[in-house]
Structure 1
Amino acid sequence: MASITSLGAGSGIFSADLVEQLVNAERKPAEIRLDQRQQAAQSKISAFGALRSALEGLRSPMEKLSSPEGLRAFTASSSNEAVTGVSIDQSVVSRGSYSLDVTQLAQAQSLASVEFADRDTTEVGTGTLSLNVGGVNTDVVIDGSNNTLEGVASAINDANAGVSAGIVDTGTGYRLVLSSDESGTANAIQVTVSGDGDGSDTDTNGLSRFAFDGTTSNLTETVQAKDAMLEVNGIAVTRSSNTVEGVVDGVTFDLKSLGTSSVTVDRDPDAVAGRVQEFVDKFNALQDVIKRHSGFNAETGKGGVLSGDSTIRGIQSDLRSLLTTIPAGLEDSPVRMLADVGIKTDPSTGKLEFDQAVFKEQLAAEPAAVTALFAEKDGVEGVAARTLDRLDDFLAGDGVLSNRTDGLNETLGRIDDQREQLDLRIQSYRDRLVSQFSAADSLIAQLNSTGDYISQQLAAIAPKSE
Structure 2
Amino acid sequence: MASISSLGAGSGLFTNDLVNQLVSAERAPAELRLNQRQAEAEAEISAYGKISSALEALKEPLDALSDIDSMRAFVGSSSNESVATASVDVSSASRGSYSLDVQQLAQAQSLASASFADRDTTAVGTGTLSLNVGGTVTDITVDGSNNTLDGLAAAINDSNAGVSASVIDTGSGFKLVLSADESGTANAVQVSVTDSDGDNTNASGLSQFAFDGVTSNMQETVVAKDAIFNINGIEVTQPGNTIEGVIDGVTFNLLSVGTSVVKVDQDPDAVTERVQAFIDKFNELQDVVSSVAGFDSGSGVGGVLSGDSAVRSIQNTLRGMLTSIPAGLENSPIRTLGDIGITTDPSTGKLEFDESLFKDQLQGYPDSLTTLFAETDSGDGIAAKMAVSLDGFLKSDGLLDNRTDGLNKTLENISDQRIRLDDRIASYEERLIRQFSAADSLIAQIQSTGNYVSQQLAAIAPQSSSE
TM over 0.5: yes
CA distance in 1 between partners of 2:267 and 2:117 (Å): 62
* Superposition RMSD in Å: 2.1
CA distance in 2 between partners of 1:193 and 1:4 (Å): 108
Q: Does 1:271 align with 2:270?
A: yes
Q: Structure 1's 444 and 121: CA in aligned 2 closer, same or farther, altered over 3 A?
A: farther
1:49 alignment counterpart: 49
Question: Structure 1 vs Structure 2: percent identity of aligned residues?
Answer: 65
Q: Structure 1's 259 and 12: CA in aligned 2 closer, same or farther, altered over 3 A?
A: same
What SS does structure 2 have at the residue aligned with 1:261?
strand
What SS does structure 2 have at the residue aligned with 1:263?
strand
Q: Structure 1's 441 and 202: CA in aligned 2 closer, same or farther, altered over 3 A?
A: farther
1:383 alignment counterpart: 382
- State which drifts further: 319-328 or 101-110: 319-328
2:20 alignment counterpart: 20
Residue type at the aligned position of 2:14: F
What SS does structure 2 have at the residue aligned with 1:59?
helix
2:212 alignment counterpart: 213
Matches within 5 A, 1:26-175: 26-175=26-175
What SS does structure 2 have at the residue aligned with 1:48?
helix
Q: Structure 1's 22 and 213: CA in aligned 2 closer, same or farther, altered over 3 A?
A: farther
Provide structure 1 residue ranges, at least 5 long, that are not aligned to the other structure: none
Deviations 1:376-420 (A, max 9, x none): 333332222222222222122221111111111221222222222
Q: CA deviation at 1:162?
A: 1.9
CA distance in 2 between partners of 1:436 and 1:14 (Å): 9
What SS does structure 2 have at the residue aligned with 1:138?
strand
CA distance in 1 between partners of 2:94 and 2:434 (Å): 92
Deviations 1:127-186 (A, max 9, x none): 333322222233333333333222222222222222222111111121111111111111
CA distance in 2 between partners of 1:14 and 1:137 (Å): 108
- State which drifts further: 309-318 or 404-413: 404-413
Residue type at the aligned position of 1:169: D
2:363 alignment counterpart: 364
Contact kept in structure 1, 2:3 and 2:16, CA below 8 Å: no
Q: CA deviation at 1:82?
A: 0.1
CA distance in 2 between partners of 1:25 and 1:160 (Å): 88
- What TM-score, normalized to structure 1? 0.93
- State which drifts further: 115-124 or 241-250: 115-124
Contact kept in structure 1, 2:326 and 2:371, CA below 8 Å: no
CA distance in 2 between partners of 1:423 and 1:272 (Å): 62
Q: CA deviation at 1:298?
A: 5.2
Q: CA deviation at 1:122?
A: 2.3
Q: Structure 1's 336 and 437: CA in aligned 2 closer, same or farther, altered over 3 A?
A: same
CA distance in 2 between partners of 1:142 and 1:456 (Å): 132
Q: CA deviation at 1:280?
A: 1.6
- State which drifts further: 339-348 or 81-90: 339-348
Residue type at the aligned position of 1:77: S
Residue type at the aligned position of 1:420: I
Q: Structure 1's 151 and 452: CA in aligned 2 closer, same or farther, altered over 3 A?
A: farther
Q: Structure 1's 455 and 381: CA in aligned 2 closer, same or farther, altered over 3 A?
A: same
1:397 alignment counterpart: 396
Contact kept in structure 1, 2:128 and 2:141, CA below 8 Å: yes
Q: CA deviation at 1:70?
A: 0.7
What SS does structure 1 have at the residue aligned with 2:70?
helix
2:424 alignment counterpart: 425
Q: CA deviation at 1:199?
A: 4.2
2:221 alignment counterpart: 222
Deviations 1:176-226 (A, max 9, x none): 1111111111111222333x4444444333333323222332222111111
Residue type at the aligned position of 2:240: S
Q: Structure 1's 373 and 444: CA in aligned 2 closer, same or farther, altered over 3 A?
A: same
What SS does structure 1 have at the residue aligned with 2:179?
strand
Contact kept in structure 1, 2:105 and 2:254, CA below 8 Å: yes
What SS does structure 1 have at the residue aligned with 2:87?
strand
- State which drifts further: 197-206 or 73-82: 197-206
Residue type at the aligned position of 2:147: N
1:254 alignment counterpart: 253
1:183 alignment counterpart: 183
2:304 alignment counterpart: 305
CA distance in 1 between partners of 2:147 and 2:9 (Å): 105
Please list every run of at least 4 consecutive aligned residues from structure 1 whose deviation after the TM superposition is greater than 4 angstroms. Answer: none
What SS does structure 2 have at the residue aligned with 1:330?
coil
- State which drifts further: 89-98 or 261-270: 261-270
What SS does structure 1 have at the residue aligned with 2:63?
helix
CA distance in 1 between partners of 2:125 and 2:18 (Å): 105
Residue type at the aligned position of 1:308: G
- State which drifts further: 141-150 or 107-116: 141-150
CA distance in 1 between partners of 2:94 and 2:380 (Å): 24
1:237 alignment counterpart: 236
Residue type at the aligned position of 1:364: Q
Q: Structure 1's 321 and 446: CA in aligned 2 closer, same or farther, altered over 3 A?
A: same
Residue type at the aligned position of 2:440: D
What SS does structure 2 have at the residue aligned with 1:462?
helix
Q: CA deviation at 1:299?
A: 6.4
CA distance in 2 between partners of 1:209 and 1:10 (Å): 123
What SS does structure 2 have at the residue aligned with 1:192?
strand
Matches within 5 A, 1:286-365: 286-297=285-296, 301-365=300-364
Q: CA deviation at 1:338?
A: 1.3
2:451 alignment counterpart: 452
Residue type at the aligned position of 1:106: A
Deviations 1:2-42 (A, max 9, x none): 95333233333333333222222222222222222122111
Q: Structure 1's 130 and 416: CA in aligned 2 closer, same or farther, altered over 3 A?
A: farther
2:434 alignment counterpart: 435
Contact kept in structure 1, 2:74 and 2:264, CA below 8 Å: yes
CA distance in 2 between partners of 1:15 and 1:449 (Å): 20
